[in-house]
């Protein structure tokens, strides 16, 4: 760990001394999430969501592994084996509802985590790698969730798979062979279902691996904080344990209350009724929509209605949808403002609020049928989305006059007088 | 370099979206989309209050038995119930002997044939059998129903927007097509073999009114079998078939929530205790 005042693990009993010399696993845990990891003392509740995402991943893996013991990935019986879990497996209904709603809550938590990163510019140096790895996790999550939704083999499973793999068909020349290669056929069928099951089982462990890298990268510079001012002294930090383990414990309780309220009292509210109809390749649903957490991207995909010279509208939509996520990888180099926290950036803050509303609107539009006025609104909302990241953000980072930053985290918490370094120069960003 | 590239990409996507918006908006204003018959005449489901609603909801077993009777005597002529086994009926309050009797009167097709005639043979069902389907396969079901396929009803209240209220509204929603429909949308008038029902997505449903008159079943508990009552009862029954574990889900949910609220309260006190004396 980087801070000189970080406490070191000291094995007390003979057993832990013996273990420490051979496999210093307790030492690793102590330094990662124990008393040996100094964390800024001023973190707000938005900093709970990293731990919550890890817990949501764990819930998914545990419920998923147990369900895989009862599920059959075969197009003939997949739907019925899902209902077998719901009806005949002991507590199977709870496992499946926990898994389906767990995916939704995983995305809710991760979206809040990402927007926290956007508002407090957690992607800026020296934390670019944490941000990039986080985006890799997000992409893996999307792939995993998409393939998981196919497994019950309901109508939306089938038609969702058809539409999403059809996106690759928009690529010129090689598109159709790629689509057929992905599906193992001309349309989703047993081959697709089997490989999706296989990959749906594999990818969560890949996610877990990248999560380890994400946390490793986090421990190099340490956590960011709401002021965006780097840790300068010991009084800026508290040990992760017991301070943040206690706070995360409380946060976990609140999360589980909300999660269980939906799981037990409205378990189908976030799903689509059509997925309780067995997949039927001969009957197209009136409105094909993905799960709600893909709606903002689905709205961007459908916003392109006109060909751009030789580029067909469908290909434009696919490019834009992928670009809408890939552009986030460039964020550390697009936003050049030396100030991290949105609290000290009035202009940025205004546009950030517009972005949040814009993405919520895109989400609503992505779930709406492809009719007017929804298409026109999604064109406006998508235009703002791209303009925000690619045009507005680089410009405001140049023209904005940030508010003065506190000298240190301690000063921001205790006020100037009580700070050990009172009277020190207030850090002003270069203009 | 990155910023110039990003600027150009942003300009392209945003610009083309704004152009598309402009063209779309101009078309929208010059030629506003015509309202469709579904848009004007389709109705949202009526309100339906069932005892299984809400977080405290429990099944009314008397009602489920009445609903099962309606399914058995009316719906099951055309609609299958693949996912429900006779043994599950004990959850409606029937004794094991009653379930065995119900099953015995409901023949299940066997894989063998009658050696004299070559026709498929049947045997009396037993409790572990699933409720037999009225048709051997989809082709047979369509052939018997004017080429319309009666959907399986096991999951129907979960598989339709509006759930039980939709089923109830559909069953009580049959009516003569309004004169206005004939005037404004003659194409949307029910064709041969179709029936007008404003609760059905495209207004024209192949199923004839199954609960055409009061009293087509006789309830053993003395409840007056009006059309309303039968529709309500069968909707309640179909909530059960779609999710037999609903009551257990509600009960478990309360136990879990009470535990979590206490645990979170303790967690909050622990958090305040740990942080006492540390300003943050």
Contact B243 A94 (CB under 8 A): no
Q: Which of A157, A223, A324, A341 is catalytic?
A: A223
Among the listed residues A236, A274, A291, A335, the single catalytic one is A291
Asked whether residue B142 is domain-assigned, the answer is yes
Annotated binding-site residue? A200 = yes
CA distance A71 to A61: 15
Catalytic site includes residue A388: no
> Which residue is closest to B275 within chain A, CA to CA?
A243
Instruction: From the candidates A124, A162, A247, A388, give the one annotated as an active-site residue.
Output: A247
Shortest Cα–Cα distance, A18 to chain B (Å): 31
Distances in Å between the Cα of B93 and the Cα atoms of A51, B62, B64 are 46, 8, 9
Q: Which two tokens stand for residue A336?
A: 């050049």
Does residue A328 lie in a domain region? yes
Euclidean distance between CA atoms B131 and A82, whole angstroms: 19
Active site residue A248: yes
Give the A:B interface size as CB pairs under 8 Å.
Answer: 172
CATH number of the domain enclosing A320: 1.20.810.10
Q: Is A339 within a domain?
A: yes
Please indicate whether, in this complex, the C-beta atoms of A83 and B2 are within 8 angstroms of each other. Answer: no
Q: How many domains does chain B have?
A: 1
In a domain, A423, yes or no: no
Asked if A318 and A170 touch (Cβ cutoff 8 Å), the reply is yes
* Burial class of residue A76, CB neighbours in 10 A (0-12, 13-18, 19+): exposed
Q: Which residues of A touch B25 (CB under 8 A)?
A: 376
Q: Give the CA angle between residues A193, A369, A310 to the nearest 5°.
A: 80
Q: pLDDT for A373-424, tens place per residue? A: 899 999 999 999 999 999 999 999 999 999 999 999 999 998 875 544 444 4
Q: How many CA atoms lie within 13 A of B12 on its CB side?
A: 16
Q: Count of domains in chain A?
A: 1
Q: Which residues of B touch A246 (CB under 8 A)?
A: 267, 270-271, 273-275
Per-residue pLDDT of chain B (280 residues; tens, 9 = 90+): 888 999 999 999 999 999 999 999 999 999 888 888 888 899 999 999 999 999 999 999 999 999 999 999 999 999 999 999 999 999 999 999 999 999 999 999 888 888 899 888 899 999 999 999 999 889 999 999 988 999 999 999 999 999 999 999 999 999 999 999 989 898 888 888 899 999 999 899 999 999 989 999 999 999 999 999 999 999 999 999 999 999 999 999 999 999 999 999 999 999 999 999 888 7
Look at A391 and B17 and tell me if their CB atoms are within 8 Å: no
CB within 8 Å of B190: residues ≥ 6 apart: B177, B196, B203, B204
Does residue B155 lie within any of the structural domains?
A: yes
Average pLDDT, rounded, for chain A: 93
The answer as to whether A227 is a domain residue is: yes
Asked whether residue A8 is marked as a ligand-binding residue, the answer is no
Residue B146 lies in a domain: yes
Please name the residue ranges forming H helices in chain B. 2-30, 37-41, 61-73, 96-104, 138-144, 163-172, 179-184, 227-242, 246-275
Per the structure, the complete domain to which residue B162 belongs is given by: 37-84+131-244
Q: Which residues touch A276 (CB under 8 Å, ≥6 apart)?
A: A154, B155, B158, B159, B242
Q: Which residue of B has its CA nearest to A241?
A: B274
Q: In angstroms, how far is the first alpha carbon of chain B from the final one?
A: 41
Which CATH number does the domain housing residue B222 bear? 1.10.760.10
Does residue A112 contact residue B270 with C-beta atoms inside 8 Å? no
Q: Among partner residues B7, B28, B268, which is closest to A372 by beta-carbon distance?
A: B28
On chain A, the residues whose CB falls within 8 A of the CB of B154 are 83
- Is the Cβ pair A303, B253 closer than 8 Å? no
The Cα-based distances of A249 to A98, A242, B216 in angstroms read 20, 10, 59
Closest alpha carbon within chain B to A43: B280
Does a structural domain hold residue B6? no
Rounded CA gap, A48 and B271, in Å? 13
| Nearest chain A residue to B279, by CA | A413
Please, which residues have CB within 8 angstroms of residue B241's CB and are 6 or more apart in sequence?
A: B81, B83, B84, B153, B154, B155, B156, B157
Spacing of C-alpha B101 from chain mean position? 28
Does the ipTM exceed 0.90?
Answer: yes
CA angle A198, A201, A206 (to 5 degrees): 115
In a domain, A258, yes or no: yes
Distance linking the first and last C-alpha atoms of chain A: 33
Query: Smallest CA–CA separation between A253 and chain B, in Å?
Result: 5
Range of the domain at A306: 25-411
- A86 lies in some domain: yes
């Amino acid at each position: 760990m980087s801070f000189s005042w970080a406490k070191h693990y000291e094995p007390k009993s003979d057993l832990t001394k013996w273990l420490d010399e051979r496999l210093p696993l307790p030492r690793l845990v102590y330094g990662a999430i124990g008393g040996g990891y100094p964390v800024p003392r001023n973190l707000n509740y938005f900093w709970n969501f990293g731990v919550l995402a890890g817990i949501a991943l764990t819930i998914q893996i545990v419920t998923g592994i147990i369900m895989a013991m009862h599920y059959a990935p075969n197009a003939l019986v997949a739907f019925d084996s899902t209902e077998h879990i719901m009806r005949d497996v002991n507590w199977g209904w709870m496992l499946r509802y926990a898994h389906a709603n767990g995916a939704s809550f995983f995305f809710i938590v991760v979206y809040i985590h990402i927007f926290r990163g956007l508002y407090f510019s957690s992607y800026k140096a020296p934390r670019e790698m944490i941000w990039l790895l986080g985006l890799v996790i997000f992409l893996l999550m999307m792939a995993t969730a998409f393939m998981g939704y196919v497994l019950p083999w309901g109508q939306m499973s089938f038609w969702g798979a058809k539409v999403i793999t059809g996106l690759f068909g928009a690529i010129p020349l090689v598109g159709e062979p790629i689509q057929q290669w992905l599906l193992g056929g001309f349309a989703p069928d047993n081959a697709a279902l089997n490989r999706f099951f296989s990959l749906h089982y594999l990818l969560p462990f890949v996610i877990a691996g990248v999560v380890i890298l994400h946390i490793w990268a986090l421990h190099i510079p340490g956590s960011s904080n709401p002021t965006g001012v780097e840790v300068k002294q010991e009084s800026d930090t508290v040990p992760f344990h017991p301070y943040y383990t206690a706070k995360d414990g409380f946060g976990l309780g609140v999360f589980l209350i909300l999660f269980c309220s939906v799981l037990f009292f409205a378990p189908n509210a976030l799903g689509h009724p059509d997925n309780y109809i067995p997949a039927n390749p001969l009957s197209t649903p009136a409105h094909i929509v993905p799960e709600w957490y893909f709606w903002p991207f689905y709205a961007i995909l459908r916003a392109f209605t006109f060909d751009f010279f030789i580029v067909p509208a469908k290909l434009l939509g696919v490019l834009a949808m992928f670009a809408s996520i890939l552009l986030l990888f460039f964020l550390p180099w697009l936003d050049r403002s030396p100030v991290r926290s949105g609290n000290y950036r009035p202009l940025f803050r205004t546009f950030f609020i517009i972005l949040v509303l814009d993405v919520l609107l895109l989400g609503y539009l992505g779930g709406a049928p492809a009719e007017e006025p929804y298409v026109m609104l999604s064109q406006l909302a998508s235009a703002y989305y791209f303009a925000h990241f690619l045009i507005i953000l680089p410009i405001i980072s140049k023209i904005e006059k940030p508010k003065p930053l506190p000298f240190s985290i301690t000063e921001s918490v205790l006020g100037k007088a009580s700070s050990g370094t009172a009277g020190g120069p207030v850090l002003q960003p270069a203009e | 370099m990155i910023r110039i590239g990003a600027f150009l990409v942003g300009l392209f996507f945003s610009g083309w979206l704004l152009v598309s918006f402009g063209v779309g908006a101009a078309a929208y204003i010059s030629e506003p989309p015509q309202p469709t018959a579904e848009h004007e005449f389709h109705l949202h489901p009526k309100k339906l209050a069932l005892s299984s609603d809400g977080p405290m909801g429990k099944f009314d077993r008397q009602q489920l038995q009445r609903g099962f009777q309606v399914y058995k005597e009316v719906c099951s002529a055309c609609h299958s119930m693949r996912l429900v086994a006779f043994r599950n009926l004990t959850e409606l309050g029937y004794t094991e002997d009653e379930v065995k009797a119900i099953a015995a009167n409901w023949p299940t097709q066997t894989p063998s044939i009658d050696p004299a005639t070559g026709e498929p043979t049947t045997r009396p069902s037993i409790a572990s059998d699933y409720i037999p389907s009225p048709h051997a396969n989809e082709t047979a079901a369509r052939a018997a129903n004017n080429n319309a396929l009666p959907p399986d009803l096991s999951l129907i209240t979960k598989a339709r927007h509006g759930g039980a209220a939709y089923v109830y509204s559909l069953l009580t929603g049959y009516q003569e097509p309004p004169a206005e429909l004939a005037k404004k949308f003659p194409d949307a008038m029910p064709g041969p073999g179709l029936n007008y029902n404003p609760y059905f997505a495209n207004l024209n449903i192949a199923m004839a009114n199954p609960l055409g008159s009061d009293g087509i079943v006789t309830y053993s508990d003395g409840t007056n079998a009006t059309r309303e009552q039968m529709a309500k009862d069968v909707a309640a029954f179909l909530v059960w078939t779609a999710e037999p574990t609903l009551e257990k889900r509600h009960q478990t949910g309360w136990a879990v929530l009470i535990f979590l609220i206490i645990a979170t309260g303790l967690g909050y006190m622990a958090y305040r205790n740990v942080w006492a004396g540390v300003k943050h």
